[in-house]
Amino acid sequence: MRLTALQTLALACLPASLAFAQAPQMDLRDLRVGMTVGELPRTGYTGFQCRPSNTPIAGWADFHACAPNRRGLREVAFRYADGETEVAG
């Protein structure tokens, strides 16, 4: 059986694409306005802080520790957890 160049390329990329598909992906696209705390990802993010005070909190569920703004909204800052997130660059 003779493979075309395209088929060979597809087979060569298969192991990498399978590994990528199976790895948990954390990304801002995982977050939507209106999500409940229970819907937010439990892994992939770290460094939670209330803004603008920069008061550290343990995670999403501690958002009530942040002071609400005039509209009653609370701002939580976070960053990607090292080693748990793929970032293109």
Mean pLDDT of 23-27: 54
Q: Is residue 26 part of a domain?
A: yes
Residue 88 belongs to a domain: no
Q: Is the pLDDT of residue 26 over 70?
A: no
Total domains, the chain: 1
| 89, part of any domain | no
Asked if 62 contacts 48 with a C-beta cutoff of 8 angstroms, the reply is yes
Pair 44, 84: CB distance under 8 Å? yes
**Contact indicator for 48, 81 with CB cutoff of 8 Å:** no
Q: Show Cβ contacts of residue 54 under 8 Å, excluding neighbours closer than 6 positions.
A: 77
pLDDT, one tens digit per residue, over 31-60 is 888 889 999 998 889 999 999 999 999 999
Residue 53 lies in domain = 5-80
Asked whether residue 25 is domain-assigned, the answer is yes
In a domain, 28, yes or no: yes
Does residue 45 or residue 22 have the better pLDDT?
A: 45
Asked if the structure places residue 43 within a domain, the reply is yes
* 51/41 Cα distance (integer angstroms): 20
Q: Is the pLDDT of residue 88 over 90?
A: no
More confident residue, 76 or 4: 76
